[in-house]
Structure 1
Amino acid sequence: MIEFWLAVGLLLLVGTAFLLIPVLRGRRAQAEEDRTALNVALYQERLAELTAQRDAGTLTAEQFEAGQAEAGRELLADTEANGPSRSRRLGKALPLLVALAVPGLAFGLYWHWGASQQIASLGQQPSMEQMTVRLQQAVAQNPDSAEAWYFLGRMQMGNGRPAEAAKAYEQAARLADRAPELLGQWAQALYFANGKQWNAQMQALTDEALKADPAETTSLGLLGIAAFEDERFSDAVDYWQRLLAQMPADDPARESIQVGIDRAREQAGQPAQAAMPEPATQPEVVNKSMAAIKVTVDLAPEVKAKVEPGDSVFVFARAASGPPMPLAVKRLTVADLPATVELSDQDAMMEQLKLSSFPQVQLAARISRSGVATQGEWIGRGQAIPSSTKEAQQLLIDSPEQAQ
């Protein structure tokens, strides 16, 4: 956007220069013409003096002719140095007024008939409120999409509306067969919506989540917080140690969890732990090293004519068999394609849902005119691949979304 207006300003500066330079040159020519007139006046005065002296008998005819010739040579030398005079000139004020009016007129005409609104919107990302409205429209149009309800829940939590987030997570959990990850998110939203007061519903949700998945990290972290607030420090230590065991050794959040454990141990009168426990080998986590998959995304020829350069493109990976929520997401535009991106554990939508947490994943790319990740017009899907794959993948967006 800044580069565009700099280019516009430069072009206007060049255009204005074409008008101002002749004005400046005109002033110089005017000065030269004034000097020439002065030289002619001096010549005429000199000639009058010579004539008077000849008439008075002071000069002979030969001296008069010699003086006249000398004055003529001086006049000729002066006028040749100045060059030919301009026969016509623009008015002094008119070119200057036009030069000043050009930028204002150009901006006015462009704003009225040009694409100023489209240019102004380039590079602008929708606000949280705008994205929330779009997601609400998406779930209204497709109320059976667990993915749409999940994204709406995340957005509402980001907006500081845990009560609305809890309702969205409830719908997502219902549609996704009560996936443990969603039960944990639902319980967490309820906890903040209830002023951080624990109740039986939250306990039931976390119990259900941990029964289905003992390593469900949101539930473990939430139960640890609730136990600490209720001064059940030994329980808090137990939950947080189980959470710590699920986290990779290089996870930066491990340190803060360990601080919580040390504080709970101190409050419980237990001896401080010498070092953080190494993450245990869990059957649920199939790849402890960070997964990273490179994928090149492009448009099918029949799709290129039906999309706009500013349409959003969401490239994501989800578990081939598991929760419907994306494990990693990257956002592009149609103008960026073809493009190569890398989806990795660092792009995880949820801490407990990473590429490395599932044996197989499926890649997909969706074009969305509305900018909502769950709602699009065109899509391309790949086959299930191991999450540990190192080979570059290809995705072609070639199918209408509604046909999937």
Structure 2
Amino acid sequence: MTLFWVASAVLIVFSCVLLALPIYRQKANNDEALRDELNKAFYKDRLSELEEETDEGLVENQQDLIEDLKQSLLDDIPTESKSKKDSSISPIAVLIPSVLLIAGISYGLYAKLGAYEDVQEWHQVSENLPALSKKLLSPEGAALSDDEMRDLTLALRTRLHYEPEDSTGWLLLGRIALANRDVDTAIGAMKKAYRLEPKDSDVMLGYAQALMLSQDDVDQENARRILGDLVKNDYVDLRVFSLLAFDAFERKDYPAAIRYWGIMQQMIGPQDSRYQMLSRSIENAQKQMGQEVGTGKSVSVAISVSDNVKADPNAALIVSIHTADGAPMPVAAARYPVGSLPRTVVLDDGNSMLPERKLSSLESLLVRVRIDSDGNVATKEGDWFGESEVVKMGESVQVVIDNQYQ
């Protein structure tokens, strides 16, 4: 607000200077001198006319007329007292009231018609941006009221006006717009964040979420491409597969939707409360396909490691299901980030290697699990692995990773 008062004071001073210049630079009033010169010229012209009229015999009392003309000239000469009276007004007496009037009118009109309170609130909201952002990103972020969300949006827009290269700010603004179902704002904000950080996984996911809400086919296709890139980069986030599953279901690509929901089940495990909800979604997709619900079989694998295994959390976890005879070619396989161990994964027909040979067709099986440290499944040297006992289809499987390829 200090800037406002300084700027307004400068404008008022400038206006006063413009007002004072004409007052102090005014030229002397020469009306009396000009009138005196005019009277003299008129007197001389009239004398010439009288001489001509006398010569023509039109005037008999020339001298009387000349005396009258002289008296008229004397009567019209400006007096000294009159000149002093005209110049007795001081410029200061005019300037000071004018300055006070300008200041009073300016601030009075602003107080009546201006937005002083709104500007003050705007500055206060901008100062509260860190606190509002922290509250939004905290686990209790849903507790933000509508007024706080509006204030946060205003503060973010203000900050982004001065810092347009802040990708985090654009991402946060896009998330707020997504929460408010403001699709245009969400897409615009996420697009700017994506332009600044095209490789950031969180930005990519946010941009894909916004594009998925668009009614434009091109936007939705771009969203699928971005989500596909995230999957290729092993970005572990349920929202990625949730978006892919929802999109596939909307496009009536039910096998793809079932596959994505199955992956989500594998990521969270049967102990998660969301597991049954995903099962219902899969059953709904199967109904849409005309399949009999409940015939699908899955294999739940509980994976743990021995104490001597040092697993890189960024390595890949490869789970493969084989026939009971231990044939090298797996019937089904899946790849996950190692993350934290122990953990449970679930494989079903969606993980089958060949469409004509389903996992559910097995009566007995064994499971192999390997930690792939170099990202190349063809090389095994130095990788840790484990293998289960042969079990019947439907039984739970436990695998302990405790061996290393030499």
Place the TM-score, normalised by the shorter chain, in its bin: 0.3 to 0.5
Given the two structures, how large is their TM-score scaled by the length of structure 2? 0.36
Greater relative contact order: 1 or 2 (C-alpha under 8 angstroms, separation 6 or more)? 1
Given the two structures, how large is their TM-score scaled by the length of structure 1? 0.36
